[in-house]
Every structure is written in C-alpha cells, then in structure tokens.
Chain A
Amino acid sequence: MRRIVSVLLENEPGALSRVVGLFSQRGYNIETLNVAPTEDPTLSRLTLTTIGDDKTIEQITKQLNKLVDVVKLVDLTEGSHLERDLMLVKIRTGAEQREEIKRTVDIFRGQIVDVGPEIYIVQIVGTGDKLDSFISAIGYAEVLEVARSGVAGISRGDKILSV
C-alpha cells in the first residue's frame, strides 16, 4: 500500500542522509522524496512516499522516529489530506501540434511557462496520478524531459504537524 510520510527534520548537516540511509539500510523503498526548509529556519519538512504492508510501514515510522534528527512525523495517508506533485515537462512541438498541446494543458489545468521556436515547457500540479495521465495524454508529442518535485502533502482540517 502506498503511504505518504511527512517528517519535520532538524535543519542540520547530515540529517537528510540519515533518513535516506535508513531506507537503504533496512531495505525499505522510497518512491518520491521532497525536502525543503519550513517557515522555521531550524526545521526542514521532508515528505516521502513509500510502498509497504502495514508491518513495514509501522517499522518505517518507528525507525524514523528513533533518528535523533527527526523531530516529528505523520503518516498523512492515515487521515484526510492533500497531496501535490509539481511537474515541468519539456515538449518538442511543431506548429501543427501547438494548439492541441495547449488544449490538453488547459484540460489538466496546467500552464505553458516557457515557449521556444520548437519547445514548450509545461507546468502541471496535482497528484502523481494526474501527472502520469498528462504524460499519456500527450503521447502524440515528443516529450524531451520531465522534472517532478516529488509529493508534498499536508493534512486537511485542523490537524497540524508542528513542534
């Protein structure tokens, strides 16, 4: 089962490597990983998605909690939550495809954020599924490059992950 785990991490050198190292050391997999500072400069927020059965996920959260650099964590998939992944796609496009691509981007509520003589760069935000669907929807065009941010997530309502 797919899980989204969000972690508040001490913004210290080496903290990220402890988290990533834990996953390889204990044979857990990471599907996506997203990490950036928060409004509190001493903390980073790391969100990762992983796939495992309940027992594995329980061990992952316990082992993460044991890391001294991990201040707090939450399994977002336990409750109602929002998740967003941001994707930038560089597409080669001749004049005859431009309109069709623009329409597809609109359907996915994306934006064309850069234009060149034969290039579009498209930005799409949404769940991983939505981003995958976009890629298959423009299967007729030549996708040159894809950059995804990995999933960032947050609980709905008044449930808060903070110190």
Chain B
Amino acid sequence: MEKLSGSEMVVRSLEDEGVEFIFGYPGGAVLHIYDALFKSKSIPHILVRHEQAATHAADGYARATGKPGVVLVTSGPGATNAITGVATAYMDSIPMVVLSGQVATHLIGEDAFQETDMIGVSRPIVKHSFQVRHASDIPITIKKAFHLASTGRPGPVVIDIPKDLTKPDELFEYSYPETVKLRSYSPARRGHMGQIKKAVRLLLGARRPIIYAGGGVILGGASDLLRELAECVNFPVTNTLMGLGSFPASSSQFLGMLGMHGFYEANMAMHNSDVILAVGVRFDDRVTNTVSKFCPGAQIIHIDIDPASISKTVPADLPIVGEVSTILTEMLKQLKEENGNINSITEKNSLDDWWRQIQIWRKENGLWSDRRYPESDQIMPQQVIECLYRVTDGDAFVTSDVGQHQMFAAQYYRFEKANRWINSGGLGTMGFGLPAAMGVQLAFPDQTVVCVTGEGSIQMNIQELSTCTQYNLPLKVVNLRNNYLGMVRQWQDMQYEGRHAMSTYEDSLPDFTKLVSAYGHLGFEIKELADLEDIMKEAFSMKDKLVFLDIFVDPAEHVYPMHVAPNGAMNDMWLSKSKRT
C-alpha cells in the first residue's frame, strides 16, 4: 500500500473525492498542506483576499454546480474569518467542506499563537464537524465530511486539522474509502406511501390550490419533476427567494416570488388557497408574516427531507419526509394511476374559477403585468434589472448581495432555470455577491455571470476584485448605486419617520470606475436612462473582461410589495408608498 504523509493524504483525499477547486488562504497551521498542494498541482487553488470570500466563493460554486464547495484556511483568524461564510451556507443548506488548520495537538488549549476553538466557534452553524486526532484518520474523516455535506439536507462540515498531524516526514498507509457508513446518520429517502396517496387525493379535491416551492427543490435536483407535476394538475406555482428558477418564470402558471417582498398575486393566492403543496420550503418568517394569521383556509401538505422543518413554525396537516425527487416521482405516478391519463385530471379537476381570480389579481397589481414603479427623472432600479434581463437573454447566472437590489433582482429577473439565482437568502449576508460570482465563473468559465449589488454590499468584499484579476474572471458587476444603505433607509422611512440613522455615507464613496481600473478592470458610470441599455450591451459583449457598471438610481425608491408588519397576514401588503391592500 502507498505511504503518504498527513498533508499528502489531505490533498490525495480531495483529489480522490473529485474536488475541482480549493478556495483558500495559507497560514502557519496549514503550511504543510499548502506544500503538498504545491507539489501535487492537481487541484487548482484559488487564493482569495479574505477568508470570508473563500467560503462565499465555494458556496457560489456549490449553488451553481450542486457539488460541495471546498475551503482551506489556517487556524485562528483564518478560521474565524471564514465563519460568516459557513453560517451563510448553513442557513441556505449549501454543501461545503471547510478544512481549517489548528495549532499542534500539544498546544491545543494553551492559548497558543493563532489558536481558536474552531469546533466550538462553528458548532451552531455546521451540519457536523470533526477535529482529527490521528493522522491515519484523515482519509476516512474527509470521506465522512463529503458524505455528510452532500446528502440529506446538505450543509457545511468543518474538519479541524492540528498542524502536527500533517508533518511531511511521518508516513501512513493511504487508501481512500469508497463508501462510508455512519450508524447515527441515515437521512430519509422515500416518502411514506400512505401519506403520498393521501396527499394526491387532497390535491385532486382542491379548488383553490397552490404549489409553494423553495430551495429544497433546487438542492434536490427536482425542478423538472416539479414542473411536470404542476403542469399535470394545472396548479399555480409560487417560489420562495431561495426557490427562484426551480419553476420557469415564463410559464403562465408562475405567480412569482411570495413573502415579504413577494408578488401581490402570489401572496393573495397563498392567503386564499384551500390546499398548499409546500415543497422543499421551511415556512420562514420572511414568507409567512404573522404565523397565527397564515393562510387560514388552507390544508398544508409539506414535503421536506428534514423532519425538523415540518411543523417548526406552521403546523403541517400532511407531512411527507424524504427526498423531494423521489416523492414527486411517486406523486406523479399516483396521480396518473388515480386518473388514467393527465387530460382527464385537468378536465375533472376544473380550476377555472381559481385561475380567473388569479388573473384578476395579476392584472390589478402584478409586477410584470404593467409598469409597477413610479415615473422618475432618474433611472429606476427596477429598470436596471429589466434591462439586465433583456441584455443577458434571461440566461445569466445572477449572484446578489443583500438589500433592495437583491429584492429587485429577485422580482424582475425572470429565472427560467435552477441554480442560476445565487443569493444569501437565510442569513442575508452583505458581501456575498462578488466572491460567490467568482465561484460560479470558475465553474462555468464560458457563461455570463453577473453580480447585482449595491454600493454598501460591494464594499464588504471589494478586495476580491484583486482575485478576479489574478484568475482572469470576466464577471460583470451591476452596482445599483443610490448612495444609501437602501433597505435600511426604506425601513427608516416606513417605521422611523424618515430618520436616516447612519444609513448614508456623506460623499465618502469612492469613484468606483477608478477603483476597478486600479485593479485592472473596466468601469462605467451610468447616470442617464438613455445610456443604460447601450452601455450594458457593450459591457456584456466584453467576454474576457470584468466590467463594473456603477449605475446611479433613484435613491428614494422603495421595494414593493411589502408585507405589513407586525401583525399582518400574507395578504396585508403595501403596494406603493401610499397604497395598501
């Protein structure tokens, strides 16, 4: 059997796992591993400028490809800098393996230089974590980590490796396990057949049904099945922020996003429904508004791989635990068996009245049915996203940061495919967009990747423009510049009588075009609506350059619809600054 050192085993295990990229930053505790990586040259390592960006880039890679992202950081500050990215991945159930260096075993607990208890610090935000105790355990630990990160409800897994275990001069017999079994870990696969049959009968009896589909559909690779099912029963479909792209926006059955900034027709249809088929969602507070007022007339079928998501906030009438794909497949089979063929289902299960009502809602206040934002002398942020959609033919990978721009992108970029919309939905991490876009661009070098951001968020990881230079990442940045922390300002306008406490920068913003050119990229300022489309087209035609578009938009604009809170229901919304439902 082949004999390798601990650090060589780390690298070989990652190779044998099929890892395509490592996102990381070297430091004392991981130098042995970096040396082994240098010698092997097999896996490209992307040197970020801050460890937070390493985790976000690995996260973006994972969201776009469905494969676990891999991060390598050193102990102490390297590990703690990575924490925000680990928490981001945890909240959105993204598969990730984070290898952190640790001080040598004999120093652990002595407050050694660059020592942090990474296992302790990361405990509440990981699916699981390991501290390696013996070098010979490195391969099996890495195998377990990838298995845990990528199966069941995915999530980040941390492996903490003390420096002495990676010494180059101590050799161990190496073999990488093909499979791994953990006696305490066996995520549900197939849903309970009795529950599935009951669910199908409930669906067929529904008169005001709706499908509420989320990130679990994308993570479970079940978008095609969702579409097939929705078309089979002719139900309307709404997506969560995390689920956008799991159902094609161009379908007439699509009602847009739901929730706090969801579409009027989506929130109204949810509130008035009699049966909700909830698929891969978790009834997040940004969706439900006041839980006690949530969809009073609806019976809820909840499909999820995580039993702890069922009835966590909103009680489910009919829970089905298992993989979304196997459950939807079985449901489709049952639907067909129950009815002979699909046509007879839709005829029998006439939803004409329901669809008529939905069309009325759509026409009244639907975001896409007419221009739903005010006239202004300035560029409206919504117009920028509509323009971006046209220029990229609706086929770009869109990452975003967090704030108003994120909501405008979610509302106005009409996603057709899964894995194209990449944003920090659960944790709401500003600074996510640019490094995430790097991860996506590395995975798909020939595709258009755009980061929609704001001047607040972009500055939280702007140093990554340097990483983009180093690896020639030709992504595009669309900066919706309103000179405010826009979402903070919106809340201050609505709930604090317009007192803009610390939400502006008082003329201290950099000239972004100069800044990006200092990093070797190209930047354009856009201040006139008339220039918007032409400059954007030009930017996106430059396939080998990073182009930063600094677009000055109306600073006073708010994101609507917006749930009335506190104490509002799904159907209580502000539709504009003056109009309420």
Contact = CB atoms under 8 A, between A and B. Distances in A.
Nearest to A8: B184
A68 B311 contact: no
A7 B124 CA distance: 19
Contacts of B127: 68
Interface of B: 119-120, 123-124, 127-129, 131, 133, 148, 182-185, 306-308, 310-312
Contact of B131 (A13, A66, A72): A13
Contacts of B119: 14
A58 B185 contact: no
A48 to B, nearest CB: 18
Given A14-B119, A68-B128, 11 more contacts: A14-B129, A14-B131, A18-B123, A21-B123, A55-B311, A65-B308, A66-B308, A68-B148, A68-B182, A68-B184, A69-B184
23 contacts: A13-B131, A13-B133, A14-B119, A14-B131, A17-B120, A17-B123, A18-B123, A21-B123, A21-B124, A58-B311, A59-B312, A62-B307, A63-B308, A65-B307, A66-B306, A66-B308, A68-B128, A68-B148, A68-B185, A69-B184, A71-B183, A72-B184, A163-B183
Interface in A12-49: 13-14, 17-18, 21, 25
A163 B308 CA distance: 22
Contacts of B307: 62, 65
Contacts of A17: 120, 123
A10 interface: yes
A14 B126 CA distance: 13
Contacts of A10: 184
A52 to B, nearest CB: 14
A101 to B, nearest CB: 44
Interface in A52-91: 55, 58-59, 62-63, 65-66, 68-72
Nearest to B152: A66
B124 A70 contact: no
A155 to B, nearest CB: 20
Nearest to B184: A71
Nearest to A64: B308
Contacts of A62: 307-308, 310
B159 to A, nearest CB: 13
Contacts of A18: 123
Contacts of B123: 14, 17-18, 21
A21 B129 CA distance: 14
A10 B183 CA distance: 10
Contacts of A13: 131, 133
Nearest to A63: B308
Contacts of B185: 68
A66 B307 CA distance: 9
A18 B307 CA distance: 19
Nearest to A68: B128
B154 to A, nearest CB: 13
Interface string A126-145: 00000000000000000000
Nearest to B306: A66
A69 B183 CA distance: 9
A106 B124 CA distance: 47
Interface centre among A18, A55, A68, by most B CB within 10 Å? A68
A59 B308 contact: yes
A70 to B, nearest CB: 6
Contacts of B311: 55, 58
Contacts of A58: 311
A41 B128 CA distance: 22
A58 B133 CA distance: 35
A25 B312 CA distance: 15
Contacts of A25: 124
B184 A70 contact: yes
A62 B183 CA distance: 17
A163 B148 CA distance: 20
Contacts of B148: 68
Contacts of A55: 311
A151 B310 CA distance: 30
Nearest to A72: B184
Interface centre among B120, B124, B184, by most A CB within 10 Å? B184
B44 to A, nearest CB: 30
A65 B310 CA distance: 14
A70 B185 CA distance: 9
Nearest to A22: B124
A145 to B, nearest CB: 30
A41 to B, nearest CB: 15
Contacts of B312: 59
Contacts of A71: 183-184
A160 B306 CA distance: 26
A51 to B, nearest CB: 19
A133 B185 CA distance: 42
A62 B131 CA distance: 25
Contacts of A59: 308, 312
Nearest to B310: A62
Contacts of B133: 13
B325 to A, nearest CB: 21
Contacts of B124: 21, 25
A16 B371 CA distance: 57
Nearest to B144: A68
Nearest to A69: B184
A50 B440 CA distance: 45
A110 to B, nearest CB: 38
Nearest to A26: B124
Nearest to A71: B184
A7 to B, nearest CB: 11
A52 B129 CA distance: 29
